[in-house]
Amino acid sequence: MSTGEGAVGRGPSSCRRRPRRLALPPALFLLVLLAGCGPMSPLDPESEPARRISVLWWAMLALATIVFGGACVMLIVGWFRRREWGLPVLGERPRLFDGSVVVFGIVIPVVVLVALFAWANVAMVQETDSPPANSPAMKIEVTGSQWWWQVRYPGTTAVTANEIHIPARTPVTIVTEAEDVIHSFWIPRLNRKVDSLPGHANRLELYAEKPGYYRGSCAEFCGQQHARMGVAVYADPPERFRAWLATMSRPRAAPASPLARRGEQVFMSKQCASCHTIRGTPARGEVGPDLTHLKTRSTLAALTIPNRRGYLAGWVADPQSVKEGAKMPALDLTGPELQALLEYLESLK
């Protein structure tokens, strides 16, 4: 390898290569910075709690920059005055207590860090306050499982998965628990994260100032497919939310075509019904998501793939190639059975 590099170094291309190598660290740094952008940026808040978190983050960055800048100034001053200061000699007191050392090395860091510590602690106490259990706000129960989220609307029969609808400009209390291991529910643009624990309910307020789509994710490592445990909040205008909730509360629409009816038979006779619930049918499984209104969701497998026929076919036929380790097994279906099943699942609106 060294021979090759040496040969390149002597050649005319070396001038072109070096700037490229120099550009690599800043490019990587920029890439890391940009990774924080996108639909899950806490610095693009759409609610009051998320805004306070974002302000605290910027303040921490600004103050940390001051401390870092002070340290850099000290370094530069030290470099230029190194002869004057000399190297400390054993037994001799080093002349380090120069005015700039005291200001940049002691006063600024102490003042800044103490202020930041106090602010962050006050903010943390405020932000981690759960909404009271008797709060009149609408409650939504969100249960984390490896690796998806079940979503229930108490007081109704509505059950869905991974895609939570809430009314915009209305406070909503999320009550979250876990089925198996610890997960963490996090919609960065609406609020902080909150742990979903087995056997203990945590509460969090969600309030979206504007209707829209708010992407979130599991924020606690929970196994092989932790990264594919997405969650999304759709903040709908209140009247559209009420219509959605009314639809979700209904049992499934009876299959209209012979092919879809055949699909329902396939669903009931294969393992599907032992793991999934379809209200209005004998399928009462609780291992996987409720599929009563599957077609109202825009994604499958916790936001892993779009909810379109081709993807659905792939997911049903070979789930492990889409999400390895998921509890969904591959079913031994014939071509016509798969086609009928897809027709049926696509009719669950």
From residue 135, give the alpha-carbon distance in Å to each of 131, 139, 172, 176.
7, 9, 10, 15
Tokens encoding 229: 């445990």
Q: At closest approach, how far in Å is the CB of 227 from ligand CUA?
A: 8
- Stretch 142-201 residues interacting with ligand CUA (CB under 6 A): 144, 147, 183
Q: At closest approach, how far in Å is the CB of 277 from ligand CUA?
A: 21
Q: At closest approach, how far in Å is the CB of 243 from ligand CUA?
A: 31
Q: At closest approach, how far in Å is the CB of 201 from ligand CUA?
A: 17
User: CB-wise, 86 or 325, nearer to ligand CUA?
Assistant: 325
What's the CA gap between 289 and 287, in Å, rounded?
7
User: CB-wise, 181 or 338, nearer to ligand CUA?
Assistant: 181
Window contacting ligand CUA (CB under 6 A); options: 218-226, 253-261, 314-322, 328-336: 218-226
* 204 counts as binding ligand CUA under rule CB under 6 A: no
Quickly list DSSP for 26-93.
HHHHHHHHHHT-STT-TTS--SHHHHHHHHHHHHHHHHHHHHHHHHHHHHHHHHHTHHHH-PPPTTS-
Q: In the set 140, 161, 168, 229, which binds ligand CUA (CB under 6 A)?
A: 229
| Amino acid occupying residue 237 | P
User: CB-wise, 220 or 236, nearer to ligand CUA?
Assistant: 220
Q: In the set 222, 260, 303, 322, which binds ligand CUA (CB under 6 A)?
A: 222
User: CB-wise, 167 or 230, nearer to ligand CUA?
Assistant: 230
Q: At closest approach, how far in Å is the CB of 220 from ligand CUA?
A: 5
Which residues in 330-345 are b (16+ Cβ under 10 Å) and which e?
ebeeeeebbbbbbbbb
| Amino acid occupying residue 339 | Q
Q: In the set 72, 111, 221, 280, which binds ligand CUA (CB under 6 A)?
A: 221
Q: At closest approach, how far in Å is the CB of 146 from ligand CUA?
A: 7
Q: At closest approach, how far in Å is the CB of 162 from ligand CUA?
A: 12
Are β-strands 163-167 and 230-236 bridged in parallel, bridged antiparallel, or unpaired?
A: parallel
Label residue 68 exposed, middle or buried (CB < 10 Å: 0-12, 13-18, 19+).
exposed
Q: In the set 218, 248, 283, 322, which binds ligand CUA (CB under 6 A)?
A: 218
* 289 counts as binding ligand CUA under rule CB under 6 A: no
Which residues in 308-324 are b (16+ Cβ under 10 Å) and which e?
eeebbeebbbebeebbe
Q: Where are the alpha helices (DSSP H) in 216-308?
A: 238-249, 258-269, 272-275
CB of 231 closer than 8 Å to CB of 309: no
* 327 counts as binding ligand CUA under rule CB under 6 A: no
* 226 counts as binding ligand CUA under rule CB under 6 A: yes
* 301 counts as binding ligand CUA under rule CB under 6 A: no
Contact set with ligand CUA (CB under 6 A): 144, 147, 183, 218, 220-222, 226, 229
